Every structure is written in C-alpha cells, then in structure tokens.
C-alpha cells in the first residue's frame, strides 16, 4: 500500500463522517469526539488487518519451507549446509 494514498483516503473518510455527524447532530463537540473515535477505530482496524496479513504470510512461508525440506529429505540430499564460495573477495572500497 502506498502510504500517502492511505492517509488521504482515511482523511477523506473521516471528513465525510464528520460532515454527516455534524448534519445529524448539529453539535461541533459531538462531531469532534465521534470523529476522533472513528479515527481510532479506523487505525485499530488497519493495524489488525495488516497484522493478520503478516501472520498469514509467515504461516504460508513456514508451510512452503517445511514442504521443501520434506522434499529434499526424501530426495536423499546431503545434510551439510550449503555455502557460497566466492573466488575473489575484494576488500571494502573505503578500507
């Protein structure tokens, strides 16, 4: 998700909510606190949704890794860790 788009969308939704609340109640105080509560609920919902997506992605990656390890064990591959051999390892350019 592109962060500025999310913020603009959230502000737009809160603006529409505030206008609707003000037209229904006619009170600036009621509109203000209800809009703040709405903003907190929007952020909490966004956080929970992102958290659920992260958990789902982690679960999917673990399943894929376990599937690969089971396939490699059944293929009879070595149990030695695979290493990357670099023939020429130059020093850092700032050293």
pLDDT in tens, 26-80: 999 999 999 999 999 999 998 999 999 999 999 988 888 887 776 666 655 556 6
Where are the domains positioned within the chain? 8-69
Which long-range contacts (C-beta less than 8 Å, at least 24 apart) are formed by 18-26? Answer: none
89 or 63: which leads in pLDDT: 63
Provide the pLDDT for residue 35: 97
């Amino acid at each position: 998700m592109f962060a500025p788009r999310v913020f603009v969308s959230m502000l737009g939704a809160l603006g529409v909510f505030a206008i609707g609340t003000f037209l229904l109640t006619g009170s600036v105080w009621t509109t203000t606190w209800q809009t703040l509560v709405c903003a907190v609920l929007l952020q909490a919902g966004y956080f929970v949704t992102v958290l659920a997506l992260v958990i789902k992605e982690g679960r999917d990656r673990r399943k894929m890794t376990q599937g690969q390890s089971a396939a490699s064990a059944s293929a009879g591959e070595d149990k030695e860790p695979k290493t990357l051999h670099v023939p020429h390892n130059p020093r850092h350019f700032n050293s």
